[in-house]
Amino acid sequence: MNDEFLTQFREPPRPAFAHALYERISQEKVSLRAQLAGRLTLRNALAGLFALILVAACVYVLAAPKWVEVDKHLWVQERKSTDSFLVGSEPPYYFTSPLLSIEEAKIQAGYEFKVPTWVPSDLYLKGASLFNESASDYSRAYIFWGQGESADVPWELAFQAFYTRMLIMDKYYPESFGMYVGRGSTKMTEVNSIPAVLIRGDWDYHKVFETLPSPDNGFEWDKQAALQLLWKEGDVVYRIYAIGSPASAEDLIRMAESAR
Amino acid sequence: MQASEIDWDAIYAEQLPRVYNFFRYRVGDGPVAEDLTAITFEKAWRGRMRYRRDRGAFTTWLFSIARNVATDHFRKNHNELSLDEARDQPAPVPLEETVQRRHDFSHLSMLLSRLSPREHELIAYKYGAGLNNRAIAQLTRLSESNVGTILNRSVNKLSAAWEAEDER
């Protein structure tokens, strides 16, 4: 019996418990503010002001981020706006590594991932690429399809496989993978009976190029920017990301279900 | 660092698993560990204005709250077994669907309950919460070398008990 043996039984808290406790503490923050406001209004007999503060508290609660649990270890959080710290300062299709064949990408990635066998007829395969983030301990493989032969960026359609054995930890969902998305942008669906989420839009990354290195006032959600499909199979999170593409939601789901 | 400057969201993400596992190693798996974790964080939030030290000491402050919560729990429930009582406890029987790992942890929890309260507490700090000997010494007001000695003795006891159970 050694240290490794004794520490192996550590487990992350259940996501539902972590979430509920965080919510309870968050509500207590609101409650404390309301109590303080209540004393002041009672002292001054300003019931109107008290009501106003209660309304403000309700608005605060309603404005809080909404969590959508796609699967046990996969979530998205709907937010009104976000900053580059949360979503990164680069859009998903922006990268500099050279293009590889799918076979080369699989070998270099060091893990198995599925690849769609069907794509919309007006798209053709451009190649694959890899991106390793040493800070987050997960590697991403990208496969790109486009329409024209001349324009390489932006990519019309990117299929991403994130290997997530070392998972990102979030305060609500420890040992999980998640994304921050805009309010009202998500719709639950399925990929071969696996829970998936369809996301309409993306953060307005064009600001990155207008105000390098990143915008000071964060990103806003642009519902027209992209169409995304996110799901998880085994240790791999998959995302199909369509930007400037005629691909519909049905196309993305069909493409996902064709992955082998 | 003042309480108002602390990133409570980051603290929550960082410390929740540590506090939770501290209690798992103290009281075993189940809702009690979650309840005690919740009480600890609620108390920490309410008492946050009393905290006025640097970030490094924050863990010690949080675990001092966890320690008091554990003490209250055992005082109210009287379910920390004495050494003599624990010797008579049968080994836990795993449910059919219980995986081997859960069974092993259940077994370990039973053996932990046979240690003295102090030994049990130190094991939970070290292997559940991942605290180092210095932090444990600050919490328990023992010397650092004393913490190391007790931990070493406790692990040897556990190891011997584990092997003895295996041979049955």
Q: What is the ipTM of this complex?
A: 0.78
Domain boundaries, chain B: 3-81+98-167
Residues of A in contact with B34 (CB under 8 A): 13-14, 17
Q: Say what the pLDDT of residue A168 is.
A: 58
Residues of A in contact with B101 (CB under 8 A): 8-9
3-class DSSP assignment, residue B159: helix
Q: Is B37 on the interface with A (CB under 8 A)?
A: yes
Inter-chain CB proximity A17 and B34 less than 8 Å? yes
Residue A167 lies in a domain: yes
Tens-place pLDDT, residues B98-144: 567 778 888 888 888 888 888 999 999 999 998 888 888 888 888 88
Find the radius of gyration of the CA atoms of chain B: 17
Q: Phi/psi at B148 (nearest 5 deg)?
A: -60, -40
A31 and A79 co-located in one domain: no
A125 and A183 co-located in one domain: yes
Give which of A101, A105, A109, A260 is closest to A192, Cα–Cα: A260
3-class DSSP assignment, residue A68: strand
Residue A251 lies in a domain: yes
Residue A3 lies in a domain: no
Residues A63 and A52: their CA atoms lie apart, in Å, by 16
Residue A205 lies in a domain: yes
Structurally, chain A folds into a number of domains equal to: 2
A110 and A149 co-located in one domain: yes
Give which of B17, B15, B12 is closest to A22, Cα–Cα: B12
Residue A9 lies in a domain: no
Residue A2 lies in a domain: no
Give which of A232, A229, A237, A233 is closest to A254, Cα–Cα: A229
3-class DSSP assignment, residue B71: helix
Question: CATH for B3-81+98-167?
Answer: 1.20.140.160
Residue A6 lies in a domain: no
Inter-chain CB proximity A9 and B105 less than 8 Å? yes
A101 and A215 co-located in one domain: yes
A45 and A98 co-located in one domain: no
Q: Is A165 on the interface with B (CB under 8 A)?
A: no
Q: Are A229 and A245 in contact (CB under 8 A)?
A: no
Best mutation target, B16, B24, B151, to test chain A (most A CBs within 10 A): B16
Q: Give the nearest partner residue to B155 out of A1, A28, A169, using CB atoms.
A: A1
Residues of B in contact with A11 (CB under 8 A): 20-21, 24
- Which residue on chain A is closest to B48 by alpha carbon? A29
Q: What pTM was estimated for this model as a whole?
A: 0.47
In this predicted structure, the answer to whether residue A51 has a pLDDT above a threshold of 70 is yes
Residues of B in contact with A3 (CB under 8 A): 127
Q: Is A170 on the interface with B (CB under 8 A)?
A: yes
Q: Is B42 on the interface with A (CB under 8 A)?
A: yes
Q: How confident is the model at residue A234 (pLDDT cuts 50, 70, 90)?
A: confident
Domain of A47, in residue numbers: 15-63
What would the two tokens of residue A11 be?
Answer: 């487990």
What sign for the dihedral angle of Cα B2, B14, A195, A247? Answer: positive
Residues of B in contact with A10 (CB under 8 A): 17, 21, 24, 127-128, 130
Tens-place pLDDT, residues A157-182: 677 776 655 455 566 666 677 888 88
Residues of B in contact with A24 (CB under 8 A): 38, 42
Which strands sit side by side in the sheet containing A66-71, from one edge to the other? A66-71, A74-79, A177-182
Residue A4 lies in a domain: no
Residues A250 and A239: their CA atoms lie apart, in Å, by 15
Inter-chain CB proximity B16 and A174 less than 8 Å? yes
Average pLDDT over residues A131-135: 54
Residue A226 φ/ψ region, left for φ over 0, alpha for ψ in the -120 to 50 degree band, beta for the rest: beta
Tens-place pLDDT, residues A183-224: 899 999 999 999 999 999 988 766 555 544 444 556 788 888
Inter-chain CB proximity A13 and B159 less than 8 Å? no
Q: Are B70 and B36 in contact (CB under 8 A)?
A: yes
Q: Is B47 on the interface with A (CB under 8 A)?
A: no
